[in-house]
Each structure stands twice: as C-alpha cells, then as structure tokens.
Amino acid sequence: MKKKPLRILAIIFLLSLAFNLYLSFSSSYLNNDESYFNLRVINNIRSTGLPIFYDELSYGGRALIVQPLFYYLFTLFSFIPFYFKIFPALLISSLTLISYLIAREITNDENSSLFTALLAGFIPIYSKVLINQFSVYNLVLPLIALIIFCFVKMEEKKYMVYFIIGSFLLALMHSSSFLLLFILLFYLLLMNTENLEITKLKKEILIFTFFLVLFINVLIFKRAFLAYGFNIIHGNNPIHYTFNVLQGLYMIGIIPLFLGIIGLYQGFFKQKKESIILISSMILGVLFLLILNLININIGLLFLAFGLTITSSLAIKNFFIYFERTKFSSFRKLVPYGFILLFVLLSLIPTYFNYNKEFNDLSDFQWMRENSDEGDIILTPLNYGHVVTYFSRKNVIDSNFLLAPDPEQRAYDVDLVYDGWSFNKAVELLHEYGIKYIYISKEVKKIYNIEDLKYVKDEKCLAKVKESIYKVVC
C-alpha cells in the first residue's frame, strides 16, 4: 500500500475511534442491560475461573448455556480501566480497516476502497447495537468480516487456515456462527445456480467448516436441543419482533442502501463476481433469518448494513469510471468533496443523532443493593433484568431466554403488574413471584406510557421508599 492511502486510512480509523469513544464516555452507564450480564460473567471468571453456568439470581435460579471464548478473552483485558468501553470502540473502528481490505479485493481500486472504509466507520445502526455497549457483537461482526476477507483470498494457503481458525473461534464465541452456516449454504446454492465453478479445495474447506461449526454448536447447545428439539431455533424467545421499514432503511444508512443495491446488481448479475456472490449470500442468510423471526431486528440490520456497505464499493468505483467519461470530467477533483459532504449529511449526522442513552441513572439499584436483603426479588421491565442481577439481587425476567422457565408468561405477568388495573391481580402476581421491590423510574413509565401504577392508591400493600421504588409490605 502506498503511503498516502495508508495515511488516509489511518485518519479514517482514528476519526471513527474518536467518535465512538466520545459517545461511549458521554454516559456513565453502558447502553443496554446485556452489557451488565457480560461484565458479571467476567467478574465471576476473575473470582472463580469459570463463567456462570447456573445463575441463582436470574428467574429465581436457572441453568445457563455460555459460549466462553468472548468472556475469557476480555477477562485478559479486564485489568485495564474502562476496558468495557475502550475495546468495543476499537473493535467497531476496526471495521474501517477490514472493510477497506475486502473492498480493495473486490474493486482493486484505492479510492473506492477508502470511501467504503469511511462508510463502514459510521453507520446509524451502530448507535443502536454497538456504541457504548459491551456486547459480543462488538467482536462477532469484525470476526465475521475477517472470515469473509479470508474466504475471498482463500486461494492463498495461509488465508485458508485463517478462515478455518476464524470459523472455529466464532463457533466458540456466539450463536451467530449459525449465520455463517447459512452464508455457506447460500453461497453454494448461488454458485451452482449461476453455473460458476468452485474449486475442489474450496469446496472441501467449505464442507469441513460447515460440519465443524455445526458440531461445536450441537455440543454447546446439546441441553437446549434435548429440551426444545427443533423449536430451539426460536430460542425460547417470547418477543415477536415488528419491523418498521422506513426506520430500518434509515438505520442501514441511505448511502450504503442505495449504493449497496447498485453494487449488488453490478457485481452479481453483470460481472458475476464471486466475492459479491459471497456478500449476497450473507445478505440472503440474514433476510432468511429475519423473515422467520429468528434474529433480532437490530442485529439483522447490523449485518445487512455491513454487507451493503461492502458491495457499495463496486458502485463507487463504477461511478468514478463513468464520471471520467462524461463532459463533467474536468470537475473530477471536486467529486470526493461532494461524496464527503453527502457522507456527513447522510451517515455521520444520522449515526450521531441515532444514539440515545438507554440508562440515565442506575443509582436506585445501588440503593437497593445497600438497603435490601440478599435474596430479595426486584421487579423491573425485561430490559432492566440484567441490571438487577449485576447489582446482586434477583430478577423476575431477563433476556437470557434459553432454558429459562416460561419467559413468555413471565413477560406477560410483568406487563400486567405495571400496566394492569386490578389491584388484586397485581398482589397475586407479586406474591406468586415473591417480589419485594418494584422499580418504576421515569424511563419505565415511558415504556408503559403510564404516570404511575394505576392501583397505587391502595397503600396497604405498597410503600413508596424512594421516588422510583415501591416496597411490597403485605
């Protein structure tokens, strides 16, 4: 790589890193409750050497299935202050570098690859799923991107080895490795449909990797397979995702969406580029999982946005080639500035304003830890479940649905306590779950669109011990 593109790429990486760190440190708290579960697992590894395989605080006590690699890896860095903010920001920003490498393989063009790297560093969906979150997806997405890069360069033996190692690590890290299986399946299907030849070595590597990842997942999720059978694909998840098309398009980003679709058309139908077919396989795999309601909407949009950003590199390259042939070619030096302006307006600014702080104040949970008994159960909405257990108290429900006892009924009952009218029914549920405290902050009231518990006037069972906390006293 020449020095000038290298300097530009370094600037893009640093801009992305500075942006992510700024948003991450703009809040005292992490931006989703799953982050607090991950911190808790790492704290458990530091104290016992093992992840949490049985959680006494979740659902009143239940078994957990843990894919350990993510937790052990970050335990190594846990001695660094704010590691849970710094390293996720670094991983998000690394997508600029990986995207550049993939785009350069697809286009063999420096300019379009650099613009692709710039787009990859600032995608609105990052604000919802990655920024200021200590999430496994901070590592999973860059790892899948690296696996794709190794696949594109698999003709070189070392990348073939890296591809297998990356797939093996992904299977030990997260259930997103199932997405890799769908990518491989759709790739083989599309290549066969287009009558494109796959080398014998590549075919053997794909088949080996497919069964390796599948075998590891069967071993890890054996208990869940026995409990649910083929229904495991739904993960015991009580949430039925709804999709707002306009909001989804906005979170993918207007530029990646528009240029990505053009790049898909040019690379798949016109040039039949194998690398674009591979990215198409990822997009089809994600869409397949979304249609069957097997993946969280935001996670699906995250992978779609990344795939479209990569394919946009081909559209950018072809645009520059086309522009050179027009009578406006004398203005070609102004085109990069126009692209940067569009990037600021349609990518950078939406990514910034798409970021919302989920937790503004968790001091009430610290208060409950200091003023309640160790076995007390605290009622919160679903998206606060892991916060409760992080502060060493028992919850009613959290988002670890696999092997959890009847999460659908629990989710319904929690909503009924918060949003229901019947005092007697609420008391019945409070006693059934052994609830000692009810958390009802301003944020919780917004979730249920309520001013307060509708039956709160009956003071004989509920005592207000703090502005946002009721204690069950009957």
Closest among 94, 84, 79 to 36, alpha carbons compared: 84
Mean pLDDT of 427-432: 92
Largest CA distance in the chain: 82
Model pLDDT for residues 301-322, shown as the tens digit of each residue: 999 999 999 999 999 998 888 8
Least confident range from 141-150, 160-169, 326-335: namely 326-335
Using CA atoms, how far residue 409 sits from 59, 100, 311, 405, in Å, is 12, 47, 43, 9
What is the b/e burial string over 212-250, where b = at least 16 CB atoms within 10 angstroms of the residue's CB? ebeebbeebbeebeeebeeeeeebbbbeeeeeeeeebeb
Model pLDDT for residues 33-87, shown as the tens digit of each residue: 999 999 999 999 999 999 999 999 999 899 999 999 999 999 999 999 999 999 9
pTM of the model: 0.93
State both tokens at 241: 């995702």
Q: Is-contact 215 172, C-beta < 8 A?
A: no
DSSP single-letter state for residue 446: H
Q: Name residue, tokens 């126009």.
A: 338
Mean pLDDT of all residues belonging to the chain: 90
**Would the pLDDT of 1 be above 60?**
no
Domains of the chain with bracketed CATH: 3-25+82-351 (no CATH), 363-472 (3.40.50.12610)
Rounded (10°) angle between helices 3-24 and 110-121: 10
Q: Is-contact 59 215, C-beta < 8 A?
A: no
Model pLDDT for residues 445-465, shown as the tens digit of each residue: 999 999 988 887 756 788 889
Model pLDDT for residues 271-310, shown as the tens digit of each residue: 888 889 999 999 999 998 888 777 889 999 999 999 999 9
Burial class (CB in 10 A: 0-12, 13-18, 19+), 105: middle
Q: How far apart are the first and last CA of the chain?
A: 72
**Would the pLDDT of 240 be above 80?**
no
- Confidence (pLDDT) at 241: 66
Using CA atoms, how far residue 61 sits from 64, 67, 245, 261, 441, in Å, is 10, 19, 39, 47, 26
d(CA 104, CA 313): 8
**Would the pLDDT of 168 be above 90?**
yes
Model pLDDT for residues 86-125, shown as the tens digit of each residue: 999 999 999 999 999 999 999 999 999 999 999 999 999 9
Q: Write a three-state SS string for 263-280.
A: HHHHHHHHCCCHHHHHHH
Percentage of the chain exceeding pLDDT 70: 96
- Confidence (pLDDT) at 327: 67
In which element (H, E) is residue 465 found?
strand 462-466
Q: Is 315 helix (H, G, I), strand (E, B) or coil?
A: helix
d(CA 227, CA 219): 14
